[in-house]
């Protein structure tokens, strides 16, 4: 498991975030950078935590790791979408290898989600002060989403903070994210392992994170909502 760092959290409100792309330099189109009030609030919540633990649920990005290590965190990464894709591929191969009369009762979506969580996110309870969840919940199977948030909740310490992104409509492009600076995220075009599965309504988000003592949503002009959840 790769490493990274952490910090905690607190609050409730609604704000605005504005997407913007930097100008083209020397004919090279730069990666878009998104101004992020959610990230700014996230950093404010974790400010002052020393030797904290942070979980980044996207692929390893050196700039993000360095950013938080410099702030005293130990950083862990779990590229959950890639792990889930590999798991589904393995499950598909398993299904094909079974004989026609084999017992397939354990191949239901719910059982599949349970098996997946038996193989990943295997940290002790109360490990993390901070979590960068990104927009992965928009892409995961419904049977996995609730179980994953419950598992994550058990891993977050009291006072810990989770930053998650939600699309207001199904996205056309798929992005990965990394921290550009203390107020902005860099959006990286990537191949999409899955189509977006849903658009969460605010009440659904509130229900998923109902065990958190406070939440704050930042609504952007680019169809992205940033959710900050404090346990």
- Write down the pLDDT at residue 26: 38
Q: Which domains does the chain have, with CATH numbers?
A: 14-96+105-230 (3.40.50.150)
Distances (CA, A) of 93 to 86, 88, 90, 97: 11, 9, 5, 6
Please state the rounded mean pLDDT for residues 17-27. 35
User: In this predicted model, what pLDDT tens digit does every residue of 40-54 receive, in sequence order?
Assistant: 999 999 998 888 999
Under DSSP, the state recorded for 31 is P
Q: Are 54 and 6 in contact (CB under 8 A)?
A: yes
Q: Other CB atoms closer than 10 Å to residue 63's CB: what's the count?
A: 11
- Write down the pLDDT at residue 30: 57
Write down the pTM of the prediction: 0.84
């Amino acid at each position: 498991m790769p490493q990274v760092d952490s910090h905690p959290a607190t609050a409730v409100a609604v704000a605005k975030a504005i997407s913007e792309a930097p100008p083209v330099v020397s004919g090279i189109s730069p990666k878009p950078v998104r101004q992020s009030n959610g990230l700014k609030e996230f950093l404010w919540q974790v400010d002052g935590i020393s030797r904290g633990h942070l979980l980044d649920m996207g692929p390893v990005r050196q700039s993000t790791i360095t950013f938080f290590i410099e702030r005293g965190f130990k950083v862990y990464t779990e590229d959950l979408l890639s792990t889930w894709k590999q798991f589904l591929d393995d499950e598909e191969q398993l299904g094909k290898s079974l004989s026609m009369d084999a017992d397939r009762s354990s191949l239901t979506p719910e059982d599949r989600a349970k098996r997946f969580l038996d193989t990943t996110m295997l940290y002790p309870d109360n490990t993390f002060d901070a979590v960068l969840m990104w927009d992965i919940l928009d892409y995961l199977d419904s049977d996995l989403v609730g179980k994953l948030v419950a598992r994550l909740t058990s891993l977050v310490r009291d006072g810990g903070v989770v930053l998650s992104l939600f699309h207001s409509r199904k996205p056309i492009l798929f992005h990965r994210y990394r921290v550009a600076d203390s107020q902005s995220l860099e959006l990286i075009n990537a191949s999409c392992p899955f189509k977006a599965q849903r658009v969460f309504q605010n009440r659904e988000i509130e229900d998923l994170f109902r065990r958190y003592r406070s939440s704050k949503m930042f609504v952007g002009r680019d169809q992205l909502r940033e959710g900050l959840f404090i346990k």
